[in-house]
Amino acid sequence: MDPLQHTKLGYAKDLPMGDMKVVKAGDREILLVKLEAGIYALDNFCTHGGCRLGYGKLEGETIRCLCHGSVFNVRTGEVLGGPATRPQPTYNVILEDGEVTLAP
């Protein structure tokens, strides 16, 4: 069982629509992205070389890593453009009383 299950990551109302925010959960950094379709959570460290995706560029449902230009789907973590070859880890989040919470 993931010890970070049910970790609260902040209030949904504090996340800007169409933008992203980095939060800490234990020793991890999680990138929250709020879109019209929902709130998504990815690991903040790019699978290519470890750069922080939070410094990247959000373009609709994709995020481009600033270091070497890899592009990931925000919702699924799928690699849409290299050089990254491994998908970006994602986390399921749920809303509990308005708070974004890591799902079991």
- Stretch touching ligand FES by CB under 6 A, among 16-24, 27-35, 42-50, 96-104: 42-50
Q: What is the dihedral of CA 85, 94, 8, 13, to 10 degrees?
A: 100
Question: Angle CA(53)–CA(54)–CA(55) in degrees, nearest 5?
Answer: 85
Of the pair 8, 68, the CB lying nearest ligand FES is at: 68
Cβ of residue 58: shortest distance to ligand FES, in angstroms? 14
Region 43-102 residues binding ligand FES, contact defined as CB under 6 A: 46, 48-51, 65, 67-70, 83-84
Alpha-carbon gap, residue 3 to 22, rounded angstroms: 19
Cβ of residue 72: shortest distance to ligand FES, in angstroms? 9
Alpha-carbon gap, residue 1 to 35, rounded angstroms: 29
The dihedrals phi and psi of 63, each to the nearest 5 degrees, come to -130, 135
Q: Is 42 in the site for ligand FES (CB under 6 A)?
A: no
- Residue numbers at the binding site for ligand FES (CB under 6 A): 46, 48-51, 65, 67-70, 83-84
